[in-house]
Amino acid sequence: MANTADVIIIGGGIHGTSLAFHLAERGLKPLVLERQFIAAEATGRSSGLVRMHYDLELESRLAWVSFDYFRNWEERVGGDCGFTRTGFLRITSPEFSDALRANVAMHQRIGIDSTVVTADDVARLVPYLATDDFEVAAYEPASGYADPSATAMAFMQAARAQGARVVQGCQVTDILVEGGKVTGVHTSKGDFFAPVVVNAAGPRAAAVGRMVGLELPVQVWRHDTMFVVNPPDLGDPQLTVIDDANAMYFRPETGGLTLVGLEDGNPIGDTPEELMKTPPADFVERAIDRICRRIPAMERAALHSAHDGYDGITPDQRALLGPAGPEGFYLQCGFSGTGFKIGPAVGLCMAEWIVDGRPQTVDLEPFTVQRFAEGKRLTGEHAYHNIWR
């Protein structure tokens, strides 16, 4: 019947569509319910970085598994995810130099192509970068960025080819629970029934959690970006950078542009509707100041545009994954601004959890919401600053 499925997934971003794809690969018939359209919210506003540098090993493992999808997308999924190899650099303040070295050693143990480079190495590799405020950086030559909307759409198209369904413009208004088990959902387009319901609602995850009596520790977090027109004498920068020393990241974009985002001053606690507005002027001013510090030639750049963005963020800035609340209810949310690049692996592991009873490719159990009640917040083995501070 059209209103029944094996699994109902609330949310059509990177995580909802990745899960749908992997469940369909396993022979299930998932149904994605999306209140607007595929990649309409957090995913469509993502900067799309594809890198493996984390200070938590589990996240690096998820990024490493996901990277094989991005670089072999046509074979693994089909369609096009827009992956562009640029090389990736992670710059940290001198106080975190030892932590960076330890994290690169961890990445190398996993199998990631990453190395520690000195400031002098960076100056030779990327002459347009200022290099006087850090000692070492991490360099991943094979990393880059992808197109988040195209990635989610490709996942959904491939899932549909294997029997998954999607209903867009469909707002979930309640979750049906009988005898301590989920049985389906009420929506603006009628009732749908399944023994498993997954909360992949991104910045709206807390509201979905309340439908089953859960107060999830996830808030809406604002994340704005801008594009600048590169000055002609800069050439065509081809490097993706997370610059902790300046609380910023940037990457190239087609058409002679550079995307810039900031890692501080991002409001937390509003609703998505309150955040759907043009970024404030002070964001643009701060972003211009930061990018000019790292790339002095950007003094001659021009502002192209600025865009709003948002996601769901948790107290330890790590995802909420796995079963919670009534039987059959799962969380796949709270990615705190870094969920795009691990989306393929998380979908794979969540499908394993739902179908096989436990995740096998990468252990997701430390990401369960119970960690907060147990005082077990996830922290990197060699931690940096909180990313979004």
Residue 136: both structure tokens together: 């070492």
Residue 7: both structure tokens together: 């699994």
What does the pLDDT average to over 180-200? Answer: 98
Percent of the chain with pLDDT over 70: 97
51-83 confidence digits (pLDDT tens): 999 999 999 999 999 999 999 999 999 999 999
At residue 5 the predicted structure's pLDDT band, cuts being 50, 70 and 90, is very high
pLDDT of residue 389: 47
CA neighbours closer than 13 Å in the CB half-sphere of residue 300: 7
What does the pLDDT average to over 178-184? Answer: 98
- Number of H-type helices and E-type strands within the chain: 11, 22
Distance CA 292, CA 52 (A): 26
End-to-end CA distance of the chain: 48
What does the pLDDT average to over 124-146? Answer: 96
347 neighbors 336 (Cβ within 8 angstroms):
no
Q: Residue 262's closest CA among 303, 322, 306? A: 306
What does the pLDDT average to over 109-134? Answer: 96
Dihedral (C-alpha) 355, 357, 358, 360: value to the nearest 10 degrees? -50
253-312 confidence digits (pLDDT tens): 999 999 999 988 888 887 766 655 677 778 999 999 999 999 999 999 999 999 888 899
What does the pLDDT average to over 333-349? Answer: 96
Distance CA 316, CA 202 (A): 16
Helical packing angle, 14-25 and 148-161, nearest 10°: 30
The CATH number assigned to the domain with range 7-46+148-219+314-373 reads 3.50.50.60
15-55 confidence digits (pLDDT tens): 999 999 999 999 999 999 999 999 999 999 999 999 999 99
Q: Which CATH number fits domain 84-143+220-310: 3.30.9.10, 2.160.20.80, 3.40.50.970, 3.30.420.40?
A: 3.30.9.10
319-334 confidence digits (pLDDT tens): 999 999 999 999 999 9
309 neighbors 222 (Cβ within 8 angstroms):
yes
What does the pLDDT average to over 97-104? Answer: 98
Helical packing angle, 343-356 and 14-25, nearest 10°: 50
Distance CA 246, CA 252 (A): 18
249 neighbors 261 (Cβ within 8 angstroms):
yes
Residue 339: both structure tokens together: 């969920």
Return the domain boundaries, the chain: 7-46+148-219+314-373, 84-143+220-310
Helical packing angle, 57-71 and 343-356, nearest 10°: 110
| Strand partners for 286 | none
Whether the pTM exceeds 0.85: the reply is yes
What does the pLDDT average to over 362-385? Answer: 94
